[in-house]
């Protein structure tokens, strides 16, 4: 019904004097109907209009709307929802006056892990929660940047480095040395190998750190000699006569040896005599006790002593004073042996 027809219905054109009392009654009735209509219209408008509080990412605003659902209100306000955005209450909830509607938007970020990049979208608050949401499990040594407790921010880049420490055991060769022994039993200048050298074996235990499958650190944790090397021994022919210090003497063998020095300890030698210049401590498995020799730079000496540190191709020469022993130090010399 149009407004003009309604007015015509309320105020009809009546001839003067024709049934005036009856017409006045009709007019009154129509006025009452119109008043009731206006009241219903106003009440319906007031009922349809709702005032709500809209909170988007923490920003609050009061809005008025005629929508029937929460989703309708958001559409009228131009608020579009994306994946993982949260609306409280749900979009299909009927809209009520005084309602508080919260919209929590998700943020985009990336996770670099296991050689790939995950394009993620989340509403989680911390890095550790994002990793749990995307089922990224962490090992005890794995490193996460930024840290697990770091708050999530838009376009954040999260990196997970896989760290693995393993124990590796390997065996490596130990080089052998070559010893020269001089003898008068061979022509001068000629040589003969009397013992072939054989490398030893050392077992090494390493702690190796891998980052994302690549080795980044290696530390030696333990080493053990499982087989000692065997020295190569060469006999070298030498003349039977040599002159040293203006003196000529005959010898049966000459060796290159390492010679150290020692002095008085307050004890007798292993042979029972009191130590004096000319006494040498030897490894008796190499040089028998009582062997006579001539040591370059020292002079004549006799094997009369032994020591726990004197092993193999080595001798320890006695000096009367500590300063003389310190002056000698440790040196490599030729030692001539007599029959």
**Per-domain boundaries in the chain:** 3-48, 50-104, 107-161, 165-232, 240-337
Look up tokens 């003349």; give the residue.
239
- The better pLDDT of the pair 37, 84 is held by 84
**Residue 11: what pLDDT?**
53
Residue 331 has pLDDT above 50, yes or no: yes
Residue 111 has pLDDT above 80, yes or no: yes
Give 194's contacts (C-beta < 8 A, 6+ positions apart).
181, 233, 234, 235
pLDDT range class, residue 41, cuts 50, 70, 90: very low
Counting residues of the chain whose pLDDT is more than 70, the rounded percentage is: 81
- The better pLDDT of the pair 18, 161 is held by 161
pLDDT range class, residue 26, cuts 50, 70, 90: low
Of the listed ranges 35-39, 45-49, 199-203, 305-309, the one predicted with least confidence: 35-39
pTM over 0.95? The answer is no
**Residue 116: what pLDDT?**
95
- Which residues are 210's β-sheet partners? 164, 215
Which of 20-29, 82-91, 130-139, 176-185 has the highest average model confidence (pLDDT)?
A: 130-139
pLDDT range class, residue 189, cuts 50, 70, 90: confident
Q: With beta carbons less than 8 A apart as the criterion, state whether 129 and 147 touch.
A: no
Length reported for the chain: 339
Residue 22 has pLDDT above 50, yes or no: yes
**CA 115 vs CA 25, 274, 333: distances in Å:** 91, 76, 62
Q: Which listed CATH number (1.10.287, 3.10.20, 3.30.70, 1.20.1530) goes with 50-104?
A: 3.10.20
Q: What is the mean pLDDT of residues 147-169?
A: 96
**Residue 183: what pLDDT?**
75
The CATH architecture annotation of domain 165-232 reads Single Sheet (2.20)
Residue 227 has pLDDT above 70, yes or no: yes
Q: What is the mean pLDDT of residues 69-94?
A: 90
**Residue 107: what pLDDT?**
94
Note whether 50-104 and 165-232 share their fold.
no
**Residue 25: what pLDDT?**
58
Residue 90 has pLDDT above 70, yes or no: yes
Residue 239 has pLDDT above 70, yes or no: no
- Taking only the tens place, the pLDDT of each residue in 251-308 is 778 889 999 999 998 899 999 999 999 999 999 999 999 999 999 999 999 999 998 8
The CATH architecture annotation of domain 240-337 reads Beta Barrel (2.40)
Nearest one of 215, 128, 203 to 171, comparing CA atoms: 203
Two tokens, residue 329: 């130090």
Domain 107-161 has CATH 3.10.20.90: yes
């Amino acid at each position: 019904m149009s407004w003009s027809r309604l007015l015509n219905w309320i105020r009809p054109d009546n001839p003067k004097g024709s049934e005036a009392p009856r017409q006045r009654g009709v007019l009154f009735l129509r006025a009452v109907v119109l008043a009731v209509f206006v009241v219903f219209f106003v009440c319906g408008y007031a009922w349809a209009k709702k005032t709500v509080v809209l909170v988007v990412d923490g920003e609050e605003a009061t809005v008025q709307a005629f929508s029937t659902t929460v989703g309708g209100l958001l559409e009228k306000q131009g608020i579009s929802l994306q994946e993982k955005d949260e609306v409280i209450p749900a979009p299909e909830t009927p809209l009520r006056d005084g309602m508080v509607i919260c919209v929590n938007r998700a943020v985009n970020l990336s996770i670099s892990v296991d050689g790939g990049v995950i394009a993620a979208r989340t509403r989680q608050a911390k890095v550790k929660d994002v990793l749990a949401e995307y089922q990224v499990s962490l090992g005890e040594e794995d490193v996460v940047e930024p840290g697990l407790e770091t708050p999530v921010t838009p376009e954040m880049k999260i990196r997970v480095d896989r760290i693995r420490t393993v124990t590796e055991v390997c065996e490596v060769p130990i080089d052998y040395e070559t010893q020269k022994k001089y003898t008068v039993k061979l022509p001068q200048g000629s040589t003969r190998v009397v013992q072939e050298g054989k490398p030893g074996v050392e077992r090494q235990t390493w702690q190796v750190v891998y980052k994302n499958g690549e080795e980044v650190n290696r530390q030696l944790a333990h080493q053990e000699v499982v087989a000692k090397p065997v020295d190569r021994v060469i006999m070298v022919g030498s003349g039977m006569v040599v002159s040293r210090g203006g003196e000529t003497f005959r010898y049966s063998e000459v060796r290159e040896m390492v010679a150290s020095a020692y002095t008085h300890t307050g004890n007798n030698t292993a042979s029972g005599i009191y130590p004096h210049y000319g006494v040498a401590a030897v490894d008796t498995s190499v040089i028998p006790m009582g062997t006579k020799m001539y040591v370059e730079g020292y002079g004549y000496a006799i094997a009369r002593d032994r020591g726990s540190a004197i092993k193999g191709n080595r001798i320890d020469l006695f000096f009367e004073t500590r300063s003389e022993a310190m002056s000698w130090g440790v040196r490599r010399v030729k030692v001539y042996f007599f029959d």
